[in-house]
Chain A
Amino acid sequence: MKVEARGIRKVFNRRVIFRDVSFSLEEGKVLLVTGRNGSGKSTLVKIVSHVLSPTAGSVTFTDGGGPVKGAVARHLGLVSPYLQLYDEFTASEHLDMAMTLRGLRPDPAGADALLERVGLFPRRNDPVRTYSSGMKQRLKYAFALLHRPAVLLLDEPMSNLDAEGIGMVRGVMDEQRAAGILVVATNDLTDLERYDERVDLNGGKP
């Protein structure tokens, strides 16, 4: 799997958010995206995940020299503050949907193991509206990881998490680094100490 971004530019209402963003990521590589508030970190993550179109440039996912088969979404997992879950459904139902919406068979055993890992197994049958913001963040990780994506995108990965949750996320990052591609967008450089490539959306400004 390879992710390649070439000359991405994004303009909102005539305001240039960023221009000429390029990078190339192969398996085992980590990209760090930094920039102050409003610099377009989340916009870049959305463009990489194909939910937003760039004004110019392109993001391509290739596997074995050719474009990936089927929808890019099947190879992606995203955790971000603006990704919302369904309040009326339980954690188990969300993980069932995480598979079936992607057209895959449900994986109850995998879902239970993942819920155990993110610390939500005892509350797996409670509706999400009863969850704290930290619990919702943990569920987002399970939702993003169950289909074992080749590319994992984390936008502000530690938000709302306690120390135990942060430890869990560090473990997830290490595993993804070993098995696939990891993209992390953050203001806090302590979130990610080791990376292979960096996109600084401040454009060199402090």
Chain B
Amino acid sequence: MSAPVHTGRPSWIRSALAVFLKDWNSELRTRYAVSALLMFVLTTIAIVLFALGTEGAPPHALAGMLWVVIFFSGMSGLARIFVTEEERGTAMTLQLTAPPSAVYTGKLLFNLVLVYAVNTVAVLLFFFFIQGFEVRTVSIFLVTLFLGSTGLAVMATLIAAIIAKANTKGTLFPVLSFPLLLPLLLAVIKATQLAAEGAFFAEAGGEFQILISYIGAVLTVSYLVFDYVWKD
């Protein structure tokens, strides 16, 4: 006779949400990732501020600096989502309970929420502290910020899963991330420059297409390879 396995259809969505809620509640109690990200935002903005002094910089250069702040803050905290599971030895607990695709989805949701929140703070601080940075086409800027943040979270989540089992996690994450994020960074910097220059929304269409294609491609690859990355 079979063991009385719990009745009820297992739900993949419930599983993915459970992974997200576990990380969310863990973050509310420990604040590891938020603290790391916000510290890097403050530090990099301070360095940009000191470097510019009182002379300022042209808007197109400041557009690039905004993404320097966002990139480095992301590098400091987004890898934690998988690294902490490996360091604490809880990765196997997840492997034994949730399907791999649900784990990836839950972790990605958490990184998305984290990136949207921290990047919003980063942009507000950047506007407040860095004089001369002006956005003339707000719609281009908001879409760029949304797509750029999404792409950063999607790629960072996959890289975090890959490097989590390596011994040199801390070094490997930014080293591996930079070349893989380069197409995204080039597109968001260009689009932010267009927003600063007051271009029409349609002029940024090419950059948006690159960003959407990038997110789609990375998401597809992530779901294809995650089973292998996660298992061994």
CB within 8 Å of B: which residues of A? 1, 27, 46, 49, 51-53, 63, 70-71, 73-76, 78, 82-89, 93, 97-105, 107, 143, 147-150, 176, 179-180
Query: Roughly how many angstroms separate A107 CA and B2 CA in the complex, as a whole number?
Result: 20
Query: Roughly how many angstroms separate A115 CA and B26 CA in the complex, as a whole number?
Result: 22
In the complex, the answer to whether A150 meets B98 with C-beta atoms within 8 Å is: no
* Interface size, B (range): 35 or more
Minimum Cβ distance to chain B for residue A181 (Å) = 8
Binding-face segment, B89-97, B110-118, B144-152:
B89-97
> Which residues of the other chain, B, contact A89 by a CB distance below 8 angstroms?
22, 25-26
In the complex, the answer to whether A51 meets B231 with C-beta atoms within 8 Å is: yes
In the complex, the answer to whether B98 meets A101 with C-beta atoms within 8 Å is: yes
In the complex, the answer to whether B96 meets A97 with C-beta atoms within 8 Å is: no
> Which residues of the other chain, A, contact B12 by a CB distance below 8 angstroms?
103
CB within 8 Å of A: which residues of B? 1-6, 8, 10-15, 17-19, 21-22, 25-26, 29-30, 88-90, 92-99, 102, 231-232
In the complex, the answer to whether A107 meets B6 with C-beta atoms within 8 Å is: yes
In the complex, the answer to whether B89 meets A76 with C-beta atoms within 8 Å is: no
In the complex, the answer to whether A98 meets B3 with C-beta atoms within 8 Å is: no
Q: CB < 8 Å: which of B3, B90, B95 contacts A86? A: B90
Q: CB < 8 Å: which of B3, B17, B90 contacts A1? A: B3
Query: Roughly how many angstroms separate A105 CA and B232 CA in the complex, as a whole number?
Result: 29
Given contacts A53-B231, A101-B22, contact A180 B2 (CB under 8 A): yes
Given contacts A27-B1, A53-B232, contact A84 B26 (CB under 8 A): no
Query: Roughly how many angstroms separate A34 CA and B30 CA in the complex, as a whole number?
Result: 40
Given contacts A53-B231, A83-B93, A102-B98, contact A70 B3 (CB under 8 A): no
In the complex, the answer to whether B1 meets A101 with C-beta atoms within 8 Å is: no
Q: CB < 8 Å: which of B2, B3, B99, B232 contacts A73? A: B99
In the complex, the answer to whether A101 meets B94 with C-beta atoms within 8 Å is: yes
7 A-B pairs with the lowest CB-CB distances in the bound complex, closest first: A103-B10, A180-B3, A100-B18, A84-B89, A101-B97, A103-B15, A150-B3
> Which residues of the other chain, B, contact A49 by a CB distance below 8 angstroms?
96
Number of contacts between A and B (CB, 8 Å)?
114
| Complex: chain B residue closest to A70, CB-CB | B10
In the complex, the answer to whether A101 meets B19 with C-beta atoms within 8 Å is: yes
What secondary structure prevails in chain A residues at the interface with B? loop
- Beyond A73-B99, A101-B22, 15 extra complex contacts between A and B, CB < 8 Å: A46-B92, A51-B96, A52-B232, A83-B93, A84-B92, A89-B25, A97-B97, A101-B94, A103-B14, A103-B18, A104-B6, A148-B5, A148-B6, A150-B2, A179-B3
| Complex: chain B residue closest to A86, CB-CB | B90
Minimum Cβ distance to chain A for residue B25 (Å) = 7
In the complex, the answer to whether A73 meets B98 with C-beta atoms within 8 Å is: yes
> Which residues of the other chain, B, contact A85 by a CB distance below 8 angstroms?
90, 93
> Which residues of the other chain, A, contact B102 by a CB distance below 8 angstroms?
103
Contacts A/B (CB < 8 Å), 21 sampled: A27-B2, A52-B231, A70-B10, A73-B95, A74-B5, A75-B5, A82-B92, A83-B89, A83-B96, A84-B89, A84-B93, A88-B29, A89-B22, A100-B17, A101-B98, A102-B15, A103-B12, A103-B99, A148-B5, A148-B6, A180-B2
In the complex, the answer to whether A100 meets B14 with C-beta atoms within 8 Å is: yes
Minimum Cβ distance to chain B for residue A19 (Å) = 19
| Complex: chain A residue closest to B3, CB-CB | A180
Most chain A CB within a 10 A radius of its CB, from B3, B14, B18, B89: B3
Minimum Cβ distance to chain A for residue B111 (Å) = 18
Minimum Cβ distance to chain A for residue B196 (Å) = 43
Minimum Cβ distance to chain B for residue A142 (Å) = 13
| Complex: chain B residue closest to A80, CB-CB | B92
Query: Roughly how many angstroms separate A147 CA and B70 CA in the complex, as a whole number?
Result: 43
| Complex: chain B residue closest to A127, CB-CB | B29
Query: Roughly how many angstroms separate A176 CA and B95 CA in the complex, as a whole number?
Result: 22
| Complex: chain A residue closest to B231, CB-CB | A53
In the complex, the answer to whether B96 meets A104 with C-beta atoms within 8 Å is: no
